[in-house]
Structure 1
Amino acid sequence: MDANTPAANLVRSYVEITPGRPTIAHHRHPYDTVRKYVDFKKADIRTIMNILTITAGEQQTMNFYNNIGNTYSNNLGRKLYLEIALVEEEHVTQYGSLIDPTLTWLESWILHEYTECYLYYSFYEDGADPNVKPVWEMHLAQEIAHLHKAAELLSQHENKDYTQIIGEGSFPQLLKFHDTKEYVRKILAEQVELTADKEDLRDVNLLPQDHTFFAFQNKINGDVNSVASHVVIDMHIKTKGEDYRAEMRPNPVEALQNRKEDNYLVGRTKQRKTTI
């Protein structure tokens, strides 16, 4: 909006730009952010790698917004970046809490290096740009060397073989890079009103009125007009007559289809009558 640059130019055709669960609705009480950890000794290796990958992705995103947010050129942008940083901090806690806390440092290191090898090998195999492919190959070689060193130290200091952690070391099906628009639409339609209830997920409409989610929302976002993510969208609507989107068809959530208002109630308040 500041640079008058169509955001669709930046994401090309891989994703749509359309409202999801409003940023304001992401904030949850800390008690409702921590998840039950996964026993890595019993879990499928793909589950383990998914947890480590999404935690790393959220950590990097949180660091970006925290480090860059205070350098934005105007005050509204700074507020928006730091609002998103708080959301990302909550996401890091959510996904990070899935990691098995009984792992030793070296067991954890083996899994991290193995996951990095898997990711770089996926990038190398599926990437189409010949200019980027050598970069993935270089990083893959580096991570394989790291994995070998971690395996050596695991044997030396804990008298364990790497196969106890990652099996024989062969990769599951590699990642493929493709259009995910239909998948995102499906998840949005099915889960837009889900929030957390301690370590479980529940429909916000089914929560009791005295739930920690509502109390925390009122504390953090009591004045909606001071919430940067709402202000930015509202400002765009007032300036352009509608919000900015790049959709292949209307939003899958009916409550988010109106382009002339920012619906900040979805996923945050009770929108329909329910029987508990």
Structure 2
Amino acid sequence: MFNPLEHKGLAPDQQLRSWRELNVDPIDPEAVDPYTRCRIITMNGIEVEAILFSHQFARNCPDDEVRRQLAYTRYVENQQQRVVNWLLPGLASVLETTLGYEQVAVDLTAWVARHEPDPYLRQAYEFGVLEDFDHLYRYANLYEMVERRKAEKVVDALTEVMPGRPTVHEHRHPFDEVRAPYDKDSVNPQSKLNALTILSAEQQVAIYYMNVGPQYMEPIARQLYQEISLIEQEHVTHYESLLDAGENWWERLLTHEYNECWLYHSFMEQESDPRIKAVWELHLQMELGHLQQAADLLRRHDGREPEEIVGSAGVPEPLLFEPNKQFLRHLLATQIDLNKLGEGYVREAHERFEWMQEQLHAGEKPPSEQVIDMHREQFGDEYRIETEGPHPVQSLRAAEGDRRA
């Protein structure tokens, strides 16, 4: 079992890199393992969250010595983020990268849901992943319309592309996005890492879409990014509300650094590209140094040992990017009609949900529905990748129709 707290890593004063070291060669979009792309996108989101958190900590910290230490580490984190994000190629279009983002959202969230020890938190991930699954389907249809290319060139056969919970039904009242948080003092340490990981990934999706959407000239593309970016903002609310607001700044700093160690170690263990693996190895050594600093700050300012926050057993098993087809098909068959009400889940379209639908759609088809209609008009059908047989919900409905007949 890998325990980051037992490793000193690279000393912070040895972590600054020159332009030559930052100027990494990007991946080849035509030859890359799709899950290598997913690991890059994931770690970009993790590094962005680390940077944003550090800025917020600094704005709420009266201790100048701590603020200087945060500033130094934050600069290094910025260098890490530039290296990771700059591994993505300029040759890839925004839509191609978007398909990578949604593949991350699907297979990362599915893995976390499968390995989440807390049933309540697991349900939160199971609910969310069916929505990202549908986003992948909508963008895949847009991709073929706009660029005349098929999503299988990006996601391969690793992730299926077919309808999830319809995007049109994902627009809910903001009140119903707020979940009950875990209890920081009793929750399994893995649950803290899971929540922070998915929050960071969804936050980066929301930031990416709200910035790249206006770059398109095609009206349907601009509109679809606008619609789905609003839902990704809902997802950020959904996942951030799972965090215990009672966690102080020192605890959160330690958890952020510990989480980065877990993920870089996980991806280093799994990476198939030796050049990218070397990046994960280096960044792991850097994050181990950051973790030691965070542990010292926790001891000095909070009077506690880091094991009280993240446990003493070491990180959980490595987080893996792998196909989740049967798991997702099970969720499609059992949870596609779930809705939210307060802190719970229901199966009916309640009054607050219907009110939100009326305010937003005003009786018109949203872009997520229009894009499928337009694809059918152009190509005669919608675009899908179904490698494990027909869509489970449609199969169940067909069987029910046969029984009634």
Task: Report the TM-score when normalising by structure 2.
Answer: 0.60
Shift in Å, 1:152: 1.1
Does 2:304 align with 1:160? yes
Provide the residue aligned with 1:34 in structure 2.
Answer: 178
Q: More relative contact order in 1 or in 2 (CA 8 Å, sep 6+)? A: 1
Does structure 2 retain, via aligned residues, the 8 Å contact 1:38–1:99?
A: yes
Letter in 1 for 2:361: N
Query: Deviation string for 1:47-99 (max 9, x for gaps)?
Result: 11111111111100000101111112322211110111100000000110000
Letter in 2 for 1:241: G
Provide the residue aligned with 2:244 in structure 1.
Answer: 100
Provide the residue aligned with 1:193 in structure 2.
Answer: 337
Letter in 2 for 1:218: E
Does 2:250 align with 1:111? no
Does structure 2 retain, via aligned residues, the 8 Å contact 1:117–1:144?
A: yes
Shift in Å, 1:101: 0.0
Provide the residue aligned with 1:271 in structure 2.
Answer: none
Does structure 2 retain, via aligned residues, the 8 Å contact 1:36–1:199?
A: yes
Provide the residue aligned with 2:371 in structure 1.
Answer: 232
Residues in 1 aligned to 2:302 and 2:232: alpha-carbon distance in whole angstroms: 35
Residues in 2 aligned to 1:100 and 1:81: alpha-carbon distance in whole angstroms: 31
Shift in Å, 1:222: 2.6
Residue of 209, 217, 220 corresponding to 1:65 = 209
Provide the residue aligned with 2:162 in structure 1.
Answer: 18
Does structure 1 retain, via aligned residues, the 8 Å contact 2:180–2:242?
A: yes
Shift in Å, 1:219: 1.2
The RMSD of aligned alpha carbons is 1.7
Query: Deviation string for 1:170-209 (max 9, x for gaps)?
Result: 11221223211111111111110001011001113xx55x
Residues in 2 aligned to 1:240 and 1:91: alpha-carbon distance in whole angstroms: 32
Q: 1:123 to 1:46 in 2, by over 3 A?
A: same
Residues in 2 aligned to 1:126 and 1:98: alpha-carbon distance in whole angstroms: 28
**What is the aligned-residue identity percentage?**
39
Letter in 2 for 1:57: A
Bigger helix share? 2
Does structure 2 retain, via aligned residues, the 8 Å contact 1:29–1:216?
A: yes
Letter in 2 for 1:252: P
Matched position secondary structure for 1:224: coil
Residues in 1 aligned to 2:205 and 2:268: alpha-carbon distance in whole angstroms: 23
Q: 1:149 to 1:257 in 2, by over 3 A?
A: farther
Shift in Å, 1:256: 9.8
Residues in 2 aligned to 1:12 and 1:256: alpha-carbon distance in whole angstroms: 27
Provide the residue aligned with 1:261 in structure 2.
Answer: none
Provide the residue aligned with 1:170 in structure 2.
Answer: 314
Shift in Å, 1:131: 2.2
Q: 1:20 to 1:7 in 2, by over 3 A?
A: same
Provide the residue aligned with 1:268 in structure 2.
Answer: none
Does structure 2 retain, via aligned residues, the 8 Å contact 1:195–1:202?
A: yes
Letter in 1 for 2:354: F
Residues in 2 aligned to 1:114 and 1:104: alpha-carbon distance in whole angstroms: 15
Letter in 2 for 1:78: R
The number of equivalent residue pairs is 253
Provide the residue aligned with 1:129 in structure 2.
Answer: 273
Provide the residue aligned with 2:360 in structure 1.
Answer: 220
Residues in 2 aligned to 1:236 and 1:257: alpha-carbon distance in whole angstroms: 24
Residues in 2 aligned to 1:75 and 1:149: alpha-carbon distance in whole angstroms: 49
Shift in Å, 1:145: 1.3
Residues in 2 aligned to 1:89 and 1:201: alpha-carbon distance in whole angstroms: 19
Provide the residue aligned with 1:182 in structure 2.
Answer: 326
Letter in 1 for 2:266: S
Does structure 2 retain, via aligned residues, the 8 Å contact 1:250–1:257?
A: no
Task: Report the TM-score when normalising by structure 1.
Answer: 0.88
Does structure 2 retain, via aligned residues, the 8 Å contact 1:251–1:257?
A: no
Residues in 1 aligned to 2:330 and 2:189: alpha-carbon distance in whole angstroms: 26
Residues in 2 aligned to 1:86 and 1:255: alpha-carbon distance in whole angstroms: 31
Does structure 2 retain, via aligned residues, the 8 Å contact 1:61–1:88?
A: yes
Matched position secondary structure for 2:228: helix
Query: Deviation string for 1:4-29 (max 9, x for gaps)?
Result: 01111110121011111111111110
Shift in Å, 1:160: 1.7
Letter in 2 for 1:245: R
Does structure 1 retain, via aligned residues, the 8 Å contact 2:375–2:381?
A: yes
Provide the residue aligned with 2:129 in structure 1.
Answer: none
Shift in Å, 1:257: 8.6
Residues in 2 aligned to 1:169 and 1:40: alpha-carbon distance in whole angstroms: 17
Query: Deviation string for 1:214-251 (max 9, x for gaps)?
Result: 111111123333x1111111000011111011112111
